[in-house]
């Protein structure tokens, strides 16, 4: 990037094939550099209106009768997400619960199935020791409950850790701190050869890059919709179970939304034939209502186009970090190869919590992840190249002027 100037970057914005999509989001405070779409995406402009319609017309007007509309939302929206953004087939993805609960349900289902095939063997669940807390904790809890061993490994040690007593492998496709992107197909192949299954957490991948579940031979996955998918704070999560596995797996929470004939209200639980068997209780319709407009924007832009822009924006961050921040002891801890990188960039160094606060003060929202990471995530649907430039420029200026030193060194609560 020889001629890297703000003017050059402005021409990238002008020529950006996704430039019109920013207008499909509510962008209050337009001068904010929002690089935290991997924690909480912006609201699509249409979401407020859709929600108002659901509250006023469907809930208020239709009352209980609107359940005839709502009853299949988890499946209908799951199909849009699965087929258009995750490379799954119809009837393989459903919106449900939180990522934590979905992880628990699918991990428990997989472990139960494995244990039935390996009676008397005390199995092991392998997980990435650097994975997002909820993934690690859910695995630890399940292992404690079932008398299995939970063992954290680095993804590049996975091959040697695989053995015939591995009941399940739980991995994130994109690491929440470093943005390292794993090779889903090769990990799945390795696991298959070792006679085990992989449960993927797609939270930092869905909506940021094309996930090719079927092509990569994925069997199980979960993920959230409130990051790059822009479905709102704590929006319903999703789960994926490959079609041929669905009849073989039973999840532990036998709620009435997973029942074959829900309204017969019969004496015995009999799981639904398809992906609905992985549902549990009544889904939160108001939160689900915000998923649809969010998916529509992603689908309209096209996930390949989103990825192309994401790669360029992350390259810009990396390039500017190398040029401007290296001298302050800040290094890029994200793979340089786009084939091994998700949609954000991790900067590591001293005083990252203070820098994160100073950035916020300067109108740049990134986020801090303990102990020493500053994450910057452009969201191609609404983040401009010039916004990335300005964020990096302000970070440089803060460092040059020591402006972060006036902020507290003690990390506070952020999500």
Considering all CA atoms of the chain, what is the largest pairwise distance in Å, rounded to the nearest integer? 72
Give whole-number Cα distances, 341 to 59, 304, 403, 406, in Å: 43, 15, 31, 34
Non-local CB neighbours of 183 within 8 Å, separated by 6+ positions: none
Q: Which helix (H) or strand (E) holds 239?
A: strand 238-241
Q: Which is nearer to a second copy, 96 or 124 (CB)?
A: 96
Q: How far is the CB of 53 from a second copy (least distance, A)?
A: 10
In the complex, the smallest distance separating the C-beta of residue 190 from a second copy, rounded to whole angstroms, is 25
User: Which residue, 59 or 328, has its beta carbon nearer to a second copy?
Assistant: 59
Residue from 341, 375, 384, 394 carrying the catalytic annotation: 375
Judged by beta carbon, residue 121 or residue 286, the one nearer a second copy is: 286
What is the C-alpha to C-alpha distance for residues 282 and 263, in angstroms, rounded to an integer?
13
Q: Name the residue nearer to a second copy (CB basis): 137 or 324.
A: 137
* From 132, 238, 257, 368, active-site residue: 132
Nearest distance, CB of residue 192 and a second copy, angstroms: 26
Per the annotation, the verdict on 132 as an active-site residue is yes
Q: Measured between alpha carbons, how far is 60 from 62 in angstroms, rounded to an integer?
A: 6
In the residue annotation, 201 being an active-site residue is answered as yes
Catalytic residue among 42, 197, 227, 348: 227
The pair of three-digit structure tokens given for residue 57, joined into one six-digit string: 């017309």
How many angstroms separate the first and last alpha carbons of the chain? 34
Q: Minimum distance from CB of 240 to a second copy (Å)?
A: 17
Residue tagged active-site, from 104, 226, 228, 238: 226
- Nearest-angstrom CA–CA distance, 199 and 197: 7
| Residue 271 φ/ψ, nearest 5 degrees | -65, 150
117 annotated active-site: no
- Verify whether residue 227 is a known catalytic residue: yes
Q: Rounded to 10 degrees, what is the CA torsion of 134, 138, 144, 149?
A: -90
Instruction: State which residue, 78 or 232, has the beta carbon closest to a second copy.
Output: 232
Find the shortest distance in angstroms from Cβ 275 to a second copy.
Answer: 17
Catalytically active residues are 132, 201, 226-227, 375
């Amino acid at each position: 990037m020889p001629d890297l100037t703000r003017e050059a970057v402005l021409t990238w914005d002008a020529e950006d094939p996704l430039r019109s999509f920013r207008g499909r989001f509510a962008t209050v405070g337009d001068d904010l550099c929002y690089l935290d779409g991997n924690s909480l995406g912006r609201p699509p402009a249409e979401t407020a209106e859709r929600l108002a319609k659901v509250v006023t017309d469907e809930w208020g007007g239709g009352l209980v009768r609107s359940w005839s509309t709502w009853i299949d939302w988890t499946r209908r929206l799951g199909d849009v997400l699965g087929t258009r953004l995750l490379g799954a087939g119809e009837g393989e993805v459903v919106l449900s619960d939180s990522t934590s609960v979905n992880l628990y349900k699918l991990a428990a289902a997989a472990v139960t199935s494995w244990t039935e095939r390996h009676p008397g063997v005390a199995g092991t669940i392998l997980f990435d020791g650097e994975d997002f807390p909820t993934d690690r904790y859910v695995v630890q809890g399940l292992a404690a409950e079932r008398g299995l061993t939970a063992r954290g490994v680095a993804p590049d040690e996975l091959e040697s850790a695989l053995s015939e007593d591995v009941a399940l492998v739980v991995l994130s496709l994109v690491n929440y701190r470093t943005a390292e992107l794993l090779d889903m197909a090769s990990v799945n192949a390795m696991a298959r050869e070792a006679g085990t299954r992989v449960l993927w957490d797609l939270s930092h991948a869905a909506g940021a890059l094309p996930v090719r579940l079927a092509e990569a031979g994925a069997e199980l996955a979960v993920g959230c919709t409130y990051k790059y998918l822009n479905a709102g704070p704590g929006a319903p999560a999703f789960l994926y179970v490959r079609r041929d596995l669905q009849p073989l797996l039973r999840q532990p929470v036998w709620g009435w939304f997973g029942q074959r004939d829900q309204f017969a209200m019969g004496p015995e639980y009999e799981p639904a034939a398809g992906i609905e068997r992985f549902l549990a209780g009544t889904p939160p319709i108001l939160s689900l209502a915000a998923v649809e407009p969010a998916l529509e924007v992603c689908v309209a832009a096209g996930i390949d186009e989103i990825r192309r822009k994401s790669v360029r924006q992350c390259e810009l961050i990396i390039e500017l970090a190398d040029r401007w921040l290296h001298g302050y002891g800040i290094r890029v801890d994200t793979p340089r190869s786009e084939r091994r990188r998700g949609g954000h960039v991790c900067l590591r160094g001293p005083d990252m919590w203070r820098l994160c606060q100073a950035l916020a003060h300067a109108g740049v929202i990134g986020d801090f992840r303990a102990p020493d990471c500053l994450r910057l995530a452009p969201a191609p649907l609404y983040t401009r190249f010039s916004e990335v430039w300005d964020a990096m420029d302000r970070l440089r200026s803060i460092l040059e002027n020591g402006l972060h030193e006036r902020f507290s060194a003690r990390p506070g609560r952020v999500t």
